[in-house]
Structure 1
Amino acid sequence: MEYGFVQQRVEEIRARVEEACRRSRRHPDGVRIVAVTKTATPDVLPALYAAGIRDVGENRWQMARDKLQHPAASQFVWHFIGTLQTNKVKYVAPRFHWIHSLDRPELAHALSEEAVRRGLVLNVLVQVNISGEAQKHGVAPEDAERLVRLARELPGLSLRGLMTMAPVASRPEDVRHVFAGLRTLLHDLRSRLSLEGFDQLSMGMSDDFEVAVEEGATMIRIGRRLVNP
């Protein structure tokens, strides 16, 4: 498949991020665009790299394998953003630099054990179900501290922040409270637990990333608007 359109898409996303940063008095350098490539073929990687993208996200190991074998794969920082089964940790841990979806103690232990076994340090984000939707993964906000405390103590893990997924909404403004809630939770946990380096907010996708940036997102996960024709 040809991905000549990617350059223009990246430029459009960057322009919108810059405008959102201007409105919220932030610097655009504080926002990392993670290109979600689950619907694309491995040939998208050179196009993304040429457009200046250096972060790629996948949400299933089975869909990531072919891309990780592409010659361009080593040029990227890889983010695992989907629900991670413990039996897939042995495949994901050595190939992904960031895990956005730490959502339960058993996964924290599995990631820690694999990281230690391989001599790695994995950047992890605790996934929080701010919206409370039954179909969404992530810990409840009131349970986030328990998982954060566990991840902080486990070897092989570098606890870096929080992640959430907002509900589908007809207007991005309708989910602003979700992003604001995650930001507030991160600041509260960082202050009360004296967490150094706990400053990453992974939130915002193709339809709502501008509101997420206004509310403090440091990573936005963009798929359809970047890689779909």
Structure 2
Amino acid sequence: MNDAGTARREAIATALAEVEHRIAAACAVAGRSRDEVTLIAVTKTYPASDVRVLAGLGVRHIGENRDQEAADKAHECADLPLTWHFVGQLQTNKARSVAGYADVVHSVDRPRLVEALGREAVRAGRRITCLIQVALDGEPARGGVGPAGAPALADMIAATEGLVLGGVMAVAPLGADPGPAFAELRSVSRAVRAAHPGATAISAGMSQDLDQAIAHGATHVRVGTALLGRRTPFVR
């Protein structure tokens, strides 16, 4: 490894230690075990070499939100023992590609997408875990189904061949205290689990608000900036 590679590894290792400390501290405050929370490293806009560094440091869950970038990295890192999470909004015409590499899709929010993912999962001979993205801010452009619609979508996912209902996911409203939103997501999770007890995942919290998410029951936190630094604008 050259000097630049060594410096990058050291920077990521330091950041990872800080994030792990935050997660552990938040779990302690909430009276939870650290083992209850899975760290997903969101590597969008960063190279596959960073994924390899993270894997070398023990990170096993990688998140991406753009299909083409995710597909390329998953292929390049196919030799690593990783679980790939698709965390961005997903168009139905990308379902075939995403079904080829994603183990978990966090942004399932409509019946057509359930149908497409199920069809493509069966075609690929895979089983994909799906999380229902719940809209907590009334912003349609950010995706998500309303809280009242989550149980019906859960039923559909659970009944679809090739898919496994994992739980729920949300992004906190912009510019607002995330606590009430995460509390609402926890309530939606309870409603889903009433009919599907195994759907225990609550994907919530990112670099800036993972502490509040853990306080409200998050089982998965999606962390990018705090691990890898500020991103440069994405250019196609």
Same structural fold, with TM-score higher than 0.5 when normalized by the shorter chain: yes
Structure 1 SS opposite 2:107: strand
Matches within 5 A, 1:50-199: 50-71=56-77, 74-169=80-175, 174-191=177-194, 193=195, 195-199=196-200
Find the aligned partners of 2:99 and 2:78 in 1 and give their Cα distance.
19
Give 1:42 shift: 1.1
RMSD: 1.5
Deviations 1:94-120 (A, max 9, x none): 201000000110000001111112221
Q: Is the 8 A contact 2:136 2:173 kept in 1?
A: no
Q: Is the 8 A contact 1:67 1:73 kept in 2?
A: no
**Unaligned segments of structure 1, at least 5 residues:** none
Find the aligned partners of 1:167 and 1:39 in 2 and give their Cα distance.
23
> Which amino acid counterpart does residue 224 of structure 1 have in structure 2?
T
Structure 1 SS opposite 2:217: coil
Matched, 1:202 2:208: no
Aligned length: 224
> Which amino acid counterpart does residue 99 of structure 1 have in structure 2?
V
Deviations 1:126-179 (A, max 9, x none): 000022224321001111122111111111110010000012337xxx110111
Find the aligned partners of 1:198 and 1:98 in 2 and give their Cα distance.
13
Q: Is the 8 A contact 1:46 1:72 kept in 2?
A: no
Distance 1:131 1:147, change over 3 A: same
**Unaligned segments of structure 2, at least 5 residues:** 231-236
TM-score (norm 2): 0.90
Matches within 5 A, 1:30-41: 30-41=36-47
Q: Is the 8 A contact 1:45 1:72 kept in 2?
A: no
Give 1:73 shift: 5.5
Of all paired residues, the percent bearing the same amino acid is: 38
Find the aligned partners of 1:220 and 1:76 in 2 and give their Cα distance.
16
Q: Is the 8 A contact 1:7 1:50 kept in 2?
A: no
Q: Is the 8 A contact 1:115 1:157 kept in 2?
A: yes
Find the aligned partners of 1:34 and 1:52 in 2 and give their Cα distance.
12
Find the aligned partners of 1:83 and 1:161 in 2 and give their Cα distance.
17
Distance 1:190 1:33, change over 3 A: same
TM-score (norm 1): 0.93
Find the aligned partners of 1:147 and 1:188 in 2 and give their Cα distance.
12
Corresponding residue for 2:20?
A: 14
> Which amino acid counterpart does residue 206 of structure 2 have in structure 1?
M
Structure 2 SS opposite 1:123: strand
Distance 1:103 1:71, change over 3 A: closer
Corresponding residue for 1:26?
A: 32
Give 1:38 shift: 0.5
Corresponding residue for 2:217?
A: 216
Give 1:72 shift: 5.9
